[in-house]
């Protein structure tokens, strides 16, 4: 059924405070594949000198109840794209306040769905400084025809047409989804075959944000010399599901402070229009 545009744009989600620990940071890193290249990955999987991956910002204040509050057809929602911009390095432990809003709602028309831009801002709960801005593009397939503005959301990043400068192969472990769900998203379709079939999948699928996080971890390894704080922005579009046990091939185009990326399973593109912005190493570092 069509959504109520006025209700959606005025959606009141109270600010909340979340605490996360070093244990949460260690768990997230393991869940997106860090720890497989030891000792190089030690800064992400042990407490001494612990670094938080910037993409952990999407789970430190995990909250998805807004979809029900907005009156969306939950069973027909697809996560289309995810962006994160870091305003300061994410601490390995801390407390954050989250502020949520629907930034835009575009009407694709009756029977064609709606595109929603859901923005979450994270602030340090101690000093109030901005930590990160998250922008999710949500395709609500069952909620078009509400009379809202037409539009498509932010333009996708154009991946270069030349051959990739570097390609990284990453195995998706059979237990990957079971591990990642402990970071917040416990939708059973990621681990329960019956739940996956009821959602239209032959077998459980990996969380899109896990695939996204694995791609960002590859950028940290390959383009940031494993200095996580140098990754200041990361975005990609979800184009096909990934199953635990499959293999990701992550193609990287290295252009100075910008890294473009695409991830594939065989010939199927599963992440596209990927863009990472990297903080250059300062001349006096």
Q: Is the dihedral of CA 68, 72, 75, 77 positive or negative?
A: negative
The domain total for the chain is: 1
Q: What pLDDT, on the 0 to 100 scale, is given for residue 282?
A: 58
Residue 203: its pLDDT value, please? Answer: 93
pTM of the model: 0.92
User: Residue 60 has what pLDDT?
Assistant: 95
pLDDT-based confidence at 264, cuts 50/70/90? Answer: very high
Closest CA to 242 of 281, 280, 201, 283: 201
185 is catalytic: yes
pLDDT band, residue 284 (cuts 50/70/90) = very low
Catalytic residue among 24, 41, 143, 190: 190
Q: What's residue 75's pLDDT?
A: 66
Checking if the pLDDT of 59 tops 60, the result is: yes
Whether the bond into 255 is cis, omega within 30 of 0? no
In a domain, 260, yes or no: yes
What Cα–Cα distance (Å) separates residue 107 from each residue in 6, 10, 82, 203? 13, 17, 20, 32
The secondary structure of the chain, three-state, reads: CCCCHHHHHCCCCCCEEEEECHHHHHHHHHHCCCCCCCCCCHHHHCCCCCCCCHHHHHCCCCCCCHHHHCCCCHHHEEEEEEEEEECCCCCCCEEEEEEEEEEEEEECCCCCCEEEEEEEEEEECCCCCEEEEEEEEEEECCCCCCCCCCCCCCCCCCCCCCCCCEEEEEECCCCHHHHHHHHCCCCHHHCCHHHHHHCCCCCCCCCHHHHHHHHHHHHHHHHCCCCHHHEEEEEEEECCCCCCCCEEEEEEEEECCEEEEEEEECCEEEEEEEEEEECCCCCCC
CATH of the domain at 262: 3.10.129.10
Q: Supply the pLDDT for residue 77.
A: 73
Residue 285 lies in a domain: no
- Percent of the chain having pLDDT more than 70? 93
pLDDT band at 285 (very low <50, low <70, confident <90, very high): very low
CA 53 to chain centre: 12
Which listed residue (41, 143, 185, 251) is catalytic?
185
Name the range with the highest mean pLDDT among 12-16, 90-94, 181-185. 90-94
Q: Is residue 284 part of a domain?
A: no
Q: What is the pLDDT of residue 159?
A: 97
Q: Tell me, what's the pLDDT at 281?
A: 74
Q: Is residue 210 part of a domain?
A: yes
Please report, rounded to a whole number, the percentage of residues in the chain having pLDDT higher than 90.
70
> What pLDDT digit, counting tens, does each position of 69-118 carry?
776 766 667 888 999 999 999 999 999 999 999 888 888 777 777 788 99
Note whether residue 48 is domain-resident: yes
Domain range for 179: 5-278
In a domain, 244, yes or no: yes
- Res. 227 pLDDT band, cuts 50 70 90: very high
Residue 155, CA distances (Å) to 176, 215, 216 in order: 31, 20, 20
Q: Is residue 209 part of a domain?
A: yes
- 283 is a domain residue: no
Report the range of poorest mean pLDDT among 45-59, 145-159, 184-198.
145-159
């Amino acid at each position: 059924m069509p959504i109520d545009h006025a209700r959606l744009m005025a959606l009141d989600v109270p600010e909340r405070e979340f605490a996360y620990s070093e244990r949460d940071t260690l768990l997230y890193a393991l869940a997106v594949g860090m720890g497989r290249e030891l000792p190089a990955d030690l800064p992400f999987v042990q407490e001494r000198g612990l670094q938080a991956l910037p993409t952990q910002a999407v789970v430190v204040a995990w909250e998805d109840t807004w979809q029900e509050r907005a009156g969306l057809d939950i069973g027909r929602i697809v996560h289309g794209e995810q962006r994160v911009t870091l305003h300061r390095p994410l601490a390995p432990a801390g407390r954050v306040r989250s502020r949520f809003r629907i930034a835009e709602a575009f009407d694709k028309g009756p029977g064609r769905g709606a595109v929603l831009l859901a923005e979450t801002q994270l602030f340090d709960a101690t000093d109030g400084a901005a930590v990160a801005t998250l922008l999710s593009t949500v395709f609500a397939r069952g909620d078009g025809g509400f009379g809202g503005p037409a539009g498509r959301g932010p333009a996708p990043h154009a991946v270069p047409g030349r051959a990739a400068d570097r390609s990284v192969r990453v195995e998706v472990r059979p237990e990957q989804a079971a591990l990642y769900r402990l970071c917040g998203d416990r939708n059973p379709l990621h681990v329960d075959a019956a739940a996956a079939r009821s959602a239209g999948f032959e077998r459980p699928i990996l969380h899109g944000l896990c695939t996204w996080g694995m791609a960002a971890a590859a950028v940290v390894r390959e383009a940031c010399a494993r200095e996580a704080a140098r990754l200041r922005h990361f975005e990609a579009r979800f184009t096909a599901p990934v199953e635990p046990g499959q293999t990701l091939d992550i193609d990287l185009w290295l252009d100075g402070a910008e890294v473009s990326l695409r991830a594939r399973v065989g010939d199927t593109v599963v992440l596209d229009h990927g863009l990472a912005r990297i903080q250059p190493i300062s001349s006096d570092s």
